[in-house]
Structure 1
């Protein structure tokens, strides 16, 4: 099957990629069921190694359960701040989640019994995680195209979260996704705006025919 895309179609893809942001500030509201279904269909059309489709999506509907997940994240925020040492206080000033404010909260997990998927994973078993990350990126870009914000939260201990959600042995939660309407999208990545780090210059990340040392300073970055 051959599908040709118009110049405006191509431009839209690149504009959505450039406009995607990891959102932490949400405006409440809701995501209608048809839109949510479209987003999850987009995620489910992601590539996966050996066509294993390891992603599983858990929609959190109960307010009490959402609050329990929020508490797990808050506990890890404190642990991360301690691990960051001298940057700990700076980290605590950042808004790193929108769990209580977003319209929808989704948990993304890797399925159990993944060891039976050998194709493409014999030497690189982490390709299940790479595949699920592709699904999350699909959902992220589709959400941005629908003018919905999304944020990926990875600040949690996996085992307590698994217990809360009655997940089977061998499964692995990898993301809390905050999804919903936002007042506005950030002009730049929030962590860049907050001077946590900066986007590196692409030319410093491209090599040819082998690994080459990066001799150019990061302050050449084209934010």
Structure 2
């Protein structure tokens, strides 16, 4: 079969390759307190960022940027911003949940050798972007795809990643000097880890459990269980 030079076969991966992809997916964890002090090699970091940069993006707008944070003073300022927001967050939960919340370690900002802030430039691609004409937030969705790519690549490299989301937007803007059209999407802590939890840590600690997949699959319309539709 003739193949255009800009195409390649779309068949399945080998069994070994497929198993590796699924292993990365199923053993990915949100790392908070298991970071080792060893620095991440520059070639490894570049491969991880290259994986993020190969994420799908609507209209090929590639709205992401990556702020690599190693400076201890910057990390300390970010950690203080987290502490302020985290105290506010604790008060939002009912008393019966508050004690457990306060016992959870939710960040590794100063422990991780490297922090990474993934942003979305909402002006990237101009005012009209293919595929974004009717949903302005497709740039944000695209940026999150880059985060997922990065996370899976990091898992394959033996690098732990923790997503710290408890911040006031204004604090991150002040610390990093973002212009108005740039949105901070994901503040990540990266570093080597010696071990990972066998299940998500929040499940291990009793905060939540993974929902059964079959309960989340509908057929053709909202609320119609796929199993029930298949049996009629």
* TM-score normalised by L of structure 2: 0.88
Contact kept, 8 Å, 1:150 with 1:180, in 2: the verdict is yes
In structure 2, C-alpha distance between the alignment counterparts of 1:40 and 1:3, rounded to whole Å: 25
Structure 2 match to 1:208: 219
Structure 2 match to 1:21: 29
Q: Which has the larger radius of gyration?
A: 2
1:56 to 60, 65, 72: 65
In structure 2, C-alpha distance between the alignment counterparts of 1:97 and 1:171, rounded to whole Å: 23
2:9 to 2, 5, 8: 2
Contact kept, 8 Å, 2:53 with 2:146, in 1: the verdict is yes
- Counterpart of 2:91 in 1: which secondary structure? helix
Worse-matched range after superposition: 122-131 or 44-53: 122-131
C-alpha displacement of 1:110 = 0.8
C-alpha displacement of 1:121 = 2.1
- Counterpart of 2:115 in 1: which secondary structure? strand
Write the mapping of 1:117-196 to structure 2, written as runs, cut at 5 A.
117-196=128-207
Contact kept, 8 Å, 2:55 with 2:142, in 1: the verdict is yes
Structure 1 unaligned blocks of 5 or more: 215-223
- Counterpart of 1:151 in 2: which secondary structure? strand
- CA displacement, residues 129-162 of structure 1 (integer Å, 9 cap, x when unaligned): 1111110111100110011100111111111211
Contact kept, 8 Å, 1:80 with 1:88, in 2: the verdict is no
Contact kept, 8 Å, 1:52 with 1:117, in 2: the verdict is no
In structure 2, C-alpha distance between the alignment counterparts of 1:36 and 1:128, rounded to whole Å: 24
In structure 2, C-alpha distance between the alignment counterparts of 1:104 and 1:175, rounded to whole Å: 14
Contact kept, 8 Å, 2:122 with 2:139, in 1: the verdict is no
- CA displacement, residues 184-219 of structure 1 (integer Å, 9 cap, x when unaligned): 1111000010110100000000000101167xxxxx
- Counterpart of 1:116 in 2: which secondary structure? coil
C-alpha displacement of 1:117 = 4.3
In structure 1, C-alpha distance between the alignment counterparts of 2:79 and 2:102, rounded to whole Å: 15
In structure 2, C-alpha distance between the alignment counterparts of 1:21 and 1:125, rounded to whole Å: 30
The aligned length equals 214
Structure 2 unaligned blocks of 5 or more: 1-7, 226-232
C-alpha displacement of 1:113 = 1.8
C-alpha displacement of 1:27 = 1.5
Structure 1 match to 2:101: 91
